[in-house]
Structure 1
Amino acid sequence: MNEREPWQVPQSSPATTVLVNGIEIGRGSRVRLRPSRRADILDLAMAGLEAEVDAVQEDFEGQLHIAVLIHDDPGRDLGASGKIGHRFFFTPEEVEPLDSHDGPATARPRVLVAGIGNMFLADDGFGPEVIAALRDWQAPPGVHVVDFGIRGMDLAYRLLDGYDAALLVDAAPRGEPPGTLTVFEPDPPPQDQVPEAHAMDPVRVLALAQRLGDGNIPRVLVLGCEPLVRMTGQEPDVVVTLSEPVREAVRRAVPLVASVVDTLLVDCRAVAAEHAVNQRTPKAAAYEER
């Protein structure tokens, strides 16, 4: 058998994964950064840090580059959006895989927690308030927590950014007592639903995401809170405070978000594992047996 370089891409794999020290890594894999001595001072400052692989990319000269998000970077979510300064590139020789396994890797699930709502319309600000309350929560790797406010187009595009599941946190009137928290899977948007770029109603956002992604969107759940004060935006004054039952619900929503995310991660891993078994080729099986 020909000896291959420690980071050589398997011929049977697309350019989205790469072998590093015999371990196949791709989007979602955990790595430790080991920049070379010839690296610039910024890369050297990140030596030893843990990171999550965001992408494996090939340049015009055929060289492979691994784009990573630093685990402790407070602007990590900006990196996941492709923003310069929070997404870093290393060569395959400059990363050390941390996922311990034999054979091809199953990418770590990616889950989006999105707060939506208008903080100037009383209880409609429930979603953003929950995201603010989650600042001290140590989100599991692969989980990104973002306050989208009223940016419907941004959320629709983010849903199409390779996430396996999403949890939308929103004020959702369902006829329950004010402050009631409910986790539910929204109904699919009607076929004739007109997408609206600036709407933040979950159904309209999903309709927009489906239109942009040709129907391919991740599984979406909603953590809804029954509002007490409902505003339309036509009122002469703004209200930047939550009603008492909804403010108390923010406190209860934090552990509920963590619980729902854990469940989503388990479900995503199970789906990925089943898909990996179904996609195994004889060559992959032989690789695992070595």
Structure 2
Amino acid sequence: MTPTQPKRLMTWLGRYPLRTLLRLSAAVVGLGATGWMLSTVWPEPDQVAPAAPVAADNPINLAPLPLGPVTLLLVGIDADQTGDPMNNAAPRGRANADAVMLLRVDAQQPLRVLQVPIELALQLPGQTTPSGLGSLWQEGGVALLNDAIRELVGLPADQPHRYVVLPRRVLRSVVDGLGDLDVILNASFQRKDKAQNYTVNLQAGRQSLNGAQAEQLARYLKDPLDDPNRRLRQQLLIRAVVEQFRGPRTMGKIPGLVDIAASDVETNLSKAEMLSLAAAILSSPASVQIKQLPLAKRAGKQVLRQIKAGESLPLWPRL
């Protein structure tokens, strides 16, 4: 179904089209140039001898903590690998962004997560109808998505500091590496799609999810209007992953998990920076705070939605 034009768009490109077009032409330069801005955030990469064992109870033995909060753009895509020419979804085509969120990692504060709805309506230059934020991944990759979210949320020019593009295979591998995730599901979820070779079979109640089941929970979508409920299910998964990550027997697994992630994700994080973020999450208070961008009520069965009227920038508290 083709969505109709919303009466009011919380646009990013519409307000500053010339500046955005200039940014697009220099996207690669822009992303590459942010590294020097973090020279005051990232300490020296390794304070532990490479052969030294990881202590079971001291996060700073993984890597030095960041010297300040770090904002990370996380993009979950519907392909099994970042280089796949086709997605693992319907309709078949190039990979889409299934989940988009900002993470703020600070050793002194709880991990903070902002879910950015992929059905958020944005107007692209030259288009007569709006596009969903999730489709920007197809249009211009992480550079376009990064710039759009910065202006949409009201982040400073140097944020997000880093990005990670997460394919589904990495989600499965990381969960299997951490160990089964404990969740409580308030309903059962079943779906079988032969075209995608995709099956969901999750029962209501307390469950321990392996990597394949965690993918099912993150991926399940009842219908095209079910994205808000999918984000709530993804919140369950985020909380379970963080709890398992902070478990008493996890620290020794983290270097291996970083190796897995580094080889299969698309990111501008170095391995040393990944370990530093892991150490910060382990050092931070136990709770994780998750928010969503506030959306206006849906107009009928229209898929795309707008930012709630009256919201002012920034839409997420600054550092």
TM-score for the superposition, normalised by structure 1:
0.30
Higher alpha-carbon Rg: 1
TM-score for the superposition, normalised by structure 2:
0.28
RCO higher in structure (CA 8 A, sep ≥6) = 2
